[in-house]
Every structure is written in structure tokens, then in C-alpha cells.
Structure 1
Amino acid sequence: MPKFRFEFIEGMAQPAIFADMADRDEAVREAKRAAKEAMLDGIVDGVDPTSWVTKVYDEAGYLVATIGFQDLVAAPRDTEEFKETEEPGVLRSG
């Protein structure tokens, strides 16, 4: 199983975390999950996490993903989830 390095930059750099993941997609999903959890903890503690960043590197040291606050709070417009709920020009009430 490939090993990935996760770097969490939350105001100041945190120690890197190394984990075995099946592939790049699993590593990115795990990074997003961990970043969301950290950001929620930060908000509860009264910290502004909007500048926090998570970086994922593969075994060779190549950057495979950079995940920022905006990536976690905004749903991508090209996902199936968004397409199902999108109804331009129609407003729903209560």
C-alpha cells in the first residue's frame, strides 16, 4: 500500500502525519475528512480557519493535493449532488 504524507498548516505548520492509503483518491478523501474535523474544532475554539491548508504528498514527495478552507465549505458545481438540487429560476418556500 502506498504511503502518503499529510501536512496540516493551521496558522503554523503542524507535524506531518504519514499513513498508508490504497490510492491517491483515498488519501485526498481522508485529508478532507481530517481537515473538516480540525476546522470545526478550530471554530468551536474561536479560531478563524479560513487560511488553513492541508497538503498531501505521495511516497516520492510529489504534491498530489492542496486542500483549502474553500474546498471544504463549498460544494463543487459539477457534482451529481449539486446537479440534482439545482433548479435555476425556481425558488422554493418552506
Structure 2
Amino acid sequence: MPKFRFEFIEGMSQPAIFADMADRDEAIKEAKRAAKEAMLDGIIDGADPTSWVTKVYDEAGYLVVTLGFQDLVAAPEDSQRLKEADEPGVMRSG
């Protein structure tokens, strides 16, 4: 299984999380689920998650997806804002 790196930027960077996922689609679904959970926890704690961002990189270090607050609160048909591979071919250090 490919390994993906999940980065959660919630006001300040959090430690990256590494997870084995079947493919890119599964990694994106997991990133959405985890980001929504963190966002809800933040709201409960009184934080403003509107600037929070989640990024997912593949095991080679390439950006798979960037999820922002609007991507997580938009209706499913309106959530075409996913910035999949915004920077194709750009290697990211891990």
C-alpha cells in the first residue's frame, strides 16, 4: 500500500501524520474526514477554523490535494474547489 503524508495547518503547523492508504482517492477521503473532525473540535474549543488547511502528499513527496475550510463546509455539488495537484511536478520535502 502506498504511504501518504497528511499535514494539518491549524493556526500553526501540527506534526505530520503518515498512513498507508489504498490509493489517492482513499487518502483524499480520509483527509476530508480528519479535517472535518479537527474543525468541529476546534469550533467546540472556541477556535476559528476558517484559515485551516490540510495537505496530503504521496510517498514520493508530491502534493496530492490541498483542502481549505471552504472545501469542507461547501455542499457536495459545490465542493469542486479541491486543488488537486496544484503544483504538478513540484517535489516537497518531508
Report the TM range for the smaller structure's normalisation: 0.7 to 0.9
Instruction: Provide the rounded CA distance (Å) in 2 between the counterparts of 1:8 and 1:59.
Output: 17
- Rounded to whole Å, the distance in 1 between the matches of 2:77 and 2:21 is 27
Q: Equivalent residue for 2:2? A: 2
Compute the TM-score of the two structures, normalised by the length of structure 2: 0.81
Could you tell me which residue of structure 1 aligns to residue 72 of structure 2?
A: 72
Aligned-CA RMSD value: 1.3
Post-superposition shift, 1:77?
Answer: 2.7
Residue 11 of structure 1 aligns with which residue? 11
Rg bigger for which structure? 1
Is 1:40 the equivalent of 2:40?
Answer: yes
Deviation at 1:78, TM superposition (A): 6.3
* 1:92 alignment counterpart: none
Aligned-residue offset at 1:75: 1.5
**Deviant stretches of 4+, over 6 Å:** none
Q: List runs of 5+ in structure 2 lacking aligned partners.
A: 80-94
Residue in 2 that maps onto 1:59: 59
- In the other structure, the counterpart of 1:30 is 30
TM-score, length-scaled by structure 1: 0.81
The match for 2:84 is none
User: Closer, same or farther in 2 for the Cα pair 1:78/1:47, shift >3 Å?
Assistant: closer
Give structure 1 stretches of 5+ with no counterpart.
Answer: 80-94
SS at match of 2:47: coil
CA distance in 1 between partners of 2:16 and 2:63 (Å): 13
What is the rounded CA distance, in whole Å, between the counterparts of 1:77 and 1:2 in structure 2? 29
Counting matched residue pairs gives: 79
Percent identity reads 89
